[in-house]
Amino acid sequence: MVATQLHCPHCAAVQRAAVAPLLGGERSLGITVSCAHCGYLAFTMLKAARIYCSVCDDVQPAVLKSVTASEAKVLVCGSCLNAKATLYGERAVNSGSGS
């Protein structure tokens, strides 16, 4: 899944997701994902599939959970299962299909 939208609790609506480096010009340090409309910070991803969890106060594995009868996925902390964001997007294209 390529996340292009998220549910923003501040806007109370699905909005376009904005991805930016955690520190300007240094994408290798991590990224922030926020609401493109109001700037609400949804989550911070520090490494591949690792997010900062404010509940655990530590960097934890990120887990995507499917939502029943919906195209949405919920990003949760892999340790405490605290929901970080509801994401919407497009199916990832499998480049190794050989067609």
51, HSE (Cβ side, Cα atoms, 13 Å): 24
pLDDT number for residue 80: 97
Q: Which of 75, 73, 70, 10 is nearest to 38 (CA)?
A: 10
Report domain extents, the chain: 2-90
pLDDT number for residue 95: 55
pLDDT means per 10 residues, the chain with 99 residues, are 88 95 85 95 88 94 86 93 90 57
> What pairs with residue 61 in β-bridges?
50
Torsions phi, psi for 82 (to 5 deg): -70, 130
pLDDT number for residue 71: 81
